[in-house]
Amino acid sequence: MTRNEYDVIIIGGGIIGAATGYYLTKREQRVLLLEKQYLGSGSTGRCIGGIRAQFSTETTIKVAMESVELFRGMEDEFGFSVDWFPSGYLFLAYTEEKRQAFLKILGLQQSLGLDVRFVEPVDIRRRFNYININGVLGGTYCPTDGQADPFFVLKGYMLGMVKGGSNVKTHAEVVGIDHHRSDVFEVAIADGDKFYASKVLNAAGPCSKSIGEMVGIDLLAEPERHESLITEGIEFKAIPMIVDYRPDGCYFVQRTTGQIIGCYTPEVQIPGTDTGSTFEFLTEMPRRIIRLIPALESVAILRQWAGSYTITPDGNPIVDKTDIQGYYVSTAMCGHGFMLGPALGKLMANFMIDDSWPYDMSEFAYKRNYQRDTEVLG
Ligand SMILES: Cc1cc2nc3c(=O)[nH]c(=O)nc-3n(C[C@H](O)[C@H](O)[C@H](O)COP(=O)(O)OP(=O)(O)OC[C@H]3O[C@@H](n4cnc5c(N)ncnc54)[C@H](O)[C@@H]3O)c2cc1C
* DSSP for 260-279, written as a single string: EEEE---SS--BSS-----H
Ligand 1: which atom is nearest the Cα of residue 15?
A: 25
Q: For the residues of 287-323, what is the DSSP string, one character each?
A: HHHHHH-GGGTTPPEEEEEEEEEEE-TTS--EEEE-S
Ligand 1: which atom is nearest the Cα of residue 335?
A: 15
CA distance 211 to 216: 9
Residues 54-74: pLDDT tens digits? 999 999 999 999 999 999 999
Query: Is residue 2 scored above 90 in pLDDT?
Result: no
Closest to 316 measured CA to CA, from 200, 219, 227, 229: 219
Three-class SS of residue 196? strand
Query: Is residue 378 scored above 60 in pLDDT?
Result: no
Three-class SS of residue 331? strand
Cross-strand partners of 189: 174
**HSE-up (13 A, CA, CB side) for residue 51:** 35
Ligand 1: which atom is nearest the Cα of residue 189?
A: 42
pLDDT recorded at residue 126: 97
Residue nearest to atom 20 of ligand 1 (CA): 337
pLDDT recorded at residue 206: 98
341 within 8 A of 19, measured Cβ to Cβ = yes
Buried b (16+ CB within 10 A) or exposed e, 358-370: eeebebbebeeee
Query: Is residue 377 scored above 60 in pLDDT?
Result: no
How far is the centre of ligand 1, averaged over its atoms, from the C-alpha of 203 (Å)? Answer: 9
**Residue spans in the chain of domains classed CATH 3.30.9.10:** 85-145+222-311
Ligand 1: which atom is nearest the Cα of residue 228?
A: 1
Alpha-carbon separation of residue 315 from 20, 172, 186, 248, 335 (angstroms) = 21, 30, 32, 20, 9
Mutate to test the pocket of ligand 1, among 168, 311, 319, 338 (most ligand atoms within 8 A of CB): 338
CA distance 112 to 90: 19
Ligand 1: which atom is nearest the Cα of residue 310?
A: 19
CA distance 292 to 118: 19
81 within 8 A of 151, measured Cβ to Cβ = no
Chain-centre distance for alpha carbon 264: 16
Mutate to test the pocket of ligand 1, among 11, 36, 47 (most ligand atoms within 8 A of CB): 47
How far is the centre of ligand 1, averaged over its atoms, from the C-alpha of 205 (Å)? Answer: 5
How far is the centre of ligand 1, averaged over its atoms, from the C-alpha of 325 (Å)? Answer: 25
pTM for the predicted model, two decimal places: 0.97
Three-class SS of residue 153? helix
pLDDT recorded at residue 121: 98
CA distance 305 to 300: 16
Ligand 1: which atom is nearest the Cα of residue 50?
A: 8
Closest to 154 measured CA to CA, from 10, 45, 11: 45
How far is the centre of ligand 1, averaged over its atoms, from the C-alpha of 244 (Å)? Answer: 23
> Which residues, in sequence order, are CB contacts of 231 under 8 Å at separation 6+?
259, 260, 261, 296, 299, 300, 301, 302
Confidence of residue 1 (pLDDT cuts 50, 70, 90): low
How far is the centre of ligand 1, averaged over its atoms, from the C-alpha of 42 (Å)? Answer: 5
Alpha helices in 94-149 (DSSP H): 96-111, 121-127
Cross-strand partners of 251: 243, 263
User: What would the CATH number be for the domain defined by 85-145+222-311?
Assistant: 3.30.9.10
Residues 204-239: pLDDT tens digits? 999 999 999 999 999 999 999 999 999 999 999 999
Start-to-end CA distance of the chain, whole Å, equals 44
317 within 8 A of 333, measured Cβ to Cβ = yes
170 within 8 A of 177, measured Cβ to Cβ = no
Query: Is residue 122 scored above 60 in pLDDT?
Result: yes
Ligand 1: which atom is nearest the Cα of residue 308?
A: 53
Residue nearest to atom 41 of ligand 1 (CA): 174
Three-class SS of residue 188? strand
**Residue spans in the chain of domains classed CATH 3.50.50.60:** 5-47+150-221+314-364
Q: Which fold has domain 5-47+150-221+314-364?
A: FAD/NAD(P)-binding domain (3.50.50)
How far is the centre of ligand 1, averaged over its atoms, from the C-alpha of 130 (Å)? Answer: 33
Q: Which residues line ligand 1 (CB under 6 A)?
A: 11-17, 34-37, 41-44, 46-50, 173-174, 203-207, 211, 226, 228, 263, 307-309, 331, 333, 335-339
Residue nearest to atom 16 of ligand 1 (CA): 337
Residues 260-273: pLDDT tens digits? 999 999 888 889 98
Residues 168-207: pLDDT tens digits? 999 999 999 998 777 899 999 999 999 999 999 999 999 9
